Structure 1
Amino acid sequence: MKKIALVCSGLIFSSVANASALYFYEVGTESAGLANAGQAALAQDASTIASNPAGMTRLPDHMFTGGLQTIGGNIDYQLDNSNLKSPGNVMDLTPSASGFYSQKITDDLYAGIGLYGNFGLGIDYGNWAGSNVIKKSNLLAMTLSPSLAYKLNDRLSLGASVNANYGIFSLTRDVNGEDDKQKDHDWAMSYRLGLLMQLTDQTRAGITWNSKTDYDFAIDETAHLPQGDYNLPLTASIKAPQQLMFSLVHDIDKQWSVMGDLGWQDWSQFGAPNITVNGQKVDNASRMKDTWHTALGVQYRPTEQWRLNAGVAFDSTPYRSQSDTSLSLPTGDEWRFGTGANYQITPASNIGFAVEYLHMQSSRVSSPAVLSGSFDHPYLWFANVNYSYQF
């Protein structure tokens, strides 16, 4: 009984793992073309609300930024037992959208609001050996982020956001030969504090702190397994740890800028997602360690109308060993490569596009043994368009 419970809990959570293993920095805006390098200091449009709200003090009196994004890729899981049918690539195309508005209230005070999704994936296991446990799952999450920024002086600004995060989790499995779909939703609060410093006329720095975020989705259903029917109340607790981000942007001249990041995420303290089965927690915290983020980007402005972006970023794995990972978090070291361009349509409006490729380190799952296998060379890609208007 305990073994079957572990099997189910691992599979239930694996469907949303790639959204929570590391933060998605991508929110469908121009910065994806930089692999999000300089995110806490760039502040080129209203999407700075999601990366450093203090950046609003660099924006025009009124500004709107919106974006559309598609996420795809290949997350292929192959079971070690060749007698069982493996799910193969479980990744579905996942669309997302974002919108941000910033407004100058006084000479020193700015207010804004953002609505965006940087958390969620669609997963389709299809007809496989574990269809009676899971076939499909979707996690859709949006964040509403009211924000304030205050300019202390010409070189120093502070910002803060209160984030209301709403998530919907659905699970479909085979019950007596028919698809059975369960749904749950949850609200989770989080907070963001930002500092923006103009170090010199050409160099600025940004620091952002994001608090942890806790989602709890309860699925209460009977799983029909070859060993018999079991009532397994499952609660998937999806948690993203607190993080710190430090960014620098340096304008070499009117045409060239370089930027970089150094970030930290508190995975060792926060641990793996907690999964509760019949009131007993399955805790994988001992597998986890803190993660580090670095990024470098370059922006080239050949004319007054064009901005060309390119960047690369690295996030370290939250696992101590890639040979002992969990079905609940199939991830590893991550490399991001981004490029894009932005065109100034009029003095008040611009449009852009960006693409990004995320390569994820392979990993092996050894427990539970009945579902041991590997995620070999998984990857994701992001494609988005964005539009900004100032008035």
Structure 2
Amino acid sequence: MRTRYAKLALTISLVLSSPYTIAGGFQLSEHSAAGIGRANAGEAAIADSAAVIANNAAAITRFNSMQISISGAYLVPNVRVTGNGSDEGTNNQLTNNNVVDNVLVPSLYIAAPINDSWSWGIGIFSDFGASTEYPDDYLAGSIAGETTLETLNINPNIAYKLNDNFSIGLGVSAVYGQAKLTRTLGILADASNVNNGTSFERSDTAQSLEGDGVGYGFNAGLLWELNNDHRFGLSYRSNVDIDMEGDYSTFTQPGLIAKGELTLNLPSIAEFSGFHQISAPFALHYSVVMTGWDVFEEISGTVDGQEVLQKDENFENSFKYALGATYDINSSLKLRAGISYDETPNVNDVSISLPDSNRMSYSAGASYSFNDTNSLDFGFTFVDVEEVTFSEELSSELPGVSYQFRSKSDVYIYAVQYNLSF
């Protein structure tokens, strides 16, 4: 027993030691390799590993022994932003073929029964992250630069089985967030040099704000099991506000580093899922997810109560629809597939710092059980993001001066997950 918990402590410490690798698209759903292999269809109802904690705490009552799941998803995004104006030379200077770097998204989950009615679990994962970076001398550096958001959610849960058909779950979240916003002068340096006789470079930092903080939220879930072959899951994860504090600097006051503040408003997530074992080898599952993005109205940084950095976002609530299937080849091997459609919340103020559009995801995966206590999950997803065109104003100090852009993206996601029960 002592060795068992020593291994648990080591695993937790390894996951906690790498929070800065958790970043990708602004909303992350790469919670498990099994989920990735079915386009995250049915995640609040299936409960085939402890990773269900990320989607529905109530479903951990389905486990009759301790479950541990360790998952890692490797995201390979191809995000291309190009100029879309009438001048080809300017368009070329606005082109960046590598806006987002590859990233690893790890997660860890533990769930176990306390008795016949009560169960507990804890998840360590990320629901949100963003990372875009443009060259230091990028022409539109005043709206590009570097934008990084990293979050880590530590989420303990408790669940209670009301009867053979219904279970409820409740959890709390401590979400650590770290953000960095850096903007360079870009073409504003050229304009200042011509008009004011300065000697700025395009790569000079216009302003930078970097900070971190912790926010708190809760989650609740319901599992309705009609019988062993049919069940439904309903879950809700609250919005979280993270008040970040850190360092702010600007080219207008070189060498001066002030204490800056930024509040990050992360949205709520509500999910409805169904699972149906149609026949002995074949199961069908689905999900509808609503993300309450309307809380994300702007990115605003302040120093001593005065606004020093502001960007309108005006996101809207969005829906994701997913359909998947699982086929058991034999007692050891099962195959998965899925498809999903995900609406973008970024429809009002599209920005090259957070380029996004509606997307389709196509997924496939498999699981192999070595024995009754050890198994591996594999998942692959191809995400096809619609092309989007938009214009963006270079600076609030130059109203009406804007560039035209076109963005096209796709993402390849590879995932593996180890599950242990004892």
1:376-391 equivalent positions in 2, closer than 5 A: 376-391=407-422
Q: How far does residue 174 in structure 1 lie from its aligned partner after superposition?
A: 6.2
Tell me the residue number matched to 2:281: 255
> 1:132, 1:207 → 2: CA distance?
43
Tell me the residue number matched to 1:314: 341
Q: How far does residue 166 in structure 1 lie from its aligned partner after superposition?
A: 0.9
Cα displacement string for residues 316-355 of structure 1 (whole angstroms, at most 9, x for unaligned residues): 232556xx62345422212121111110012111012111
Letter matched to residue 225 of structure 2 = Q
Does the C-alpha gap of structure 1 residues 19 and 234 become closer, same or farther in structure 2, counting only changes over 3 Å? farther
Segments of structure 2 that go 5 or more residues without pairing to the other structure are 1-21, 186-199, 394-399
Q: How far does residue 68 in structure 1 lie from its aligned partner after superposition?
A: 1.3
Q: How far does residue 201 in structure 1 lie from its aligned partner after superposition?
A: 3.6
Alignment partner of 1:90 is 2:99: yes
Alignment partner of 1:295 is 2:303: no
Letter matched to residue 330 of structure 1 = P
Letter matched to residue 206 of structure 1 = G
TM-score scaled to structure 2, two decimals?
Answer: 0.78
Equivalent in 366, 371, 390 of residue 346 of structure 1: 371
Task: Say whether the 8 Å CA contact 1:271–1:284 is kept in structure 2.
Answer: no
Does the C-alpha gap of structure 1 residues 235 and 372 become closer, same or farther in structure 2, counting only changes over 3 Å? farther
Alignment partner of 1:53 is 2:78: no
Segments of structure 1 that go 5 or more residues without pairing to the other structure are 1-15
Cα displacement string for residues 204-246 of structure 1 (whole angstroms, at most 9, x for unaligned residues): 0000011112234455111479xx9999997554323223211
Q: What SS is found at the alignment partner of 2:59?
A: helix
Q: What SS is found at the alignment partner of 2:356?
A: coil
Tell me the residue number matched to 1:12: none
Letter matched to residue 236 of structure 2 = W
Task: Say whether the 8 Å CA contact 1:237–1:273 is kept in structure 2.
Answer: no
Alignment partner of 1:126 is 2:135: yes
> 1:362, 1:238 → 2: CA distance?
27
Equivalent in 25, 32, 38 of residue 34 of structure 1: 38
> 1:173, 1:92 → 2: CA distance?
18
Q: How far does residue 261 in structure 1 lie from its aligned partner after superposition?
A: 1.0
Q: What SS is found at the alignment partner of 1:378?
A: strand
Q: How far does residue 251 in structure 1 lie from its aligned partner after superposition?
A: 0.4
Does the C-alpha gap of structure 1 residues 164 and 51 become closer, same or farther in structure 2, counting only changes over 3 Å? same
> 1:141, 1:17 → 2: CA distance?
7
- State the aligned residue count: 368
Alignment partner of 1:147 is 2:178: no
Alignment partner of 1:238 is 2:244: no
Equivalent in 158, 161, 168 of residue 168 of structure 2: 158
> 1:134, 1:119 → 2: CA distance?
20
1:11-26 equivalent positions in 2, closer than 5 A: 19-20=25-26, 23-26=27-30
1:167-246 equivalent positions in 2, closer than 5 A: 167-171=177-181, 183-217=210-244, 220-223=248-251, 237-246=263-272
> 2:288, 2:124 → 1: CA distance?
26
Q: Indicate the percent of aligned positions where both proteins have the same amino acid.
A: 24
The farther-off stretch of 160-169 and 170-179 is 170-179
> 2:79, 2:216 → 1: CA distance?
29
Cα displacement string for residues 253-294 of structure 1 (whole angstroms, at most 9, x for unaligned residues): 2211000112222334x2433424642885747x54331221
Letter matched to residue 387 of structure 2 = S
Tell me the residue number matched to 2:362: 337
TM-score scaled to structure 1, two decimals?
Answer: 0.83
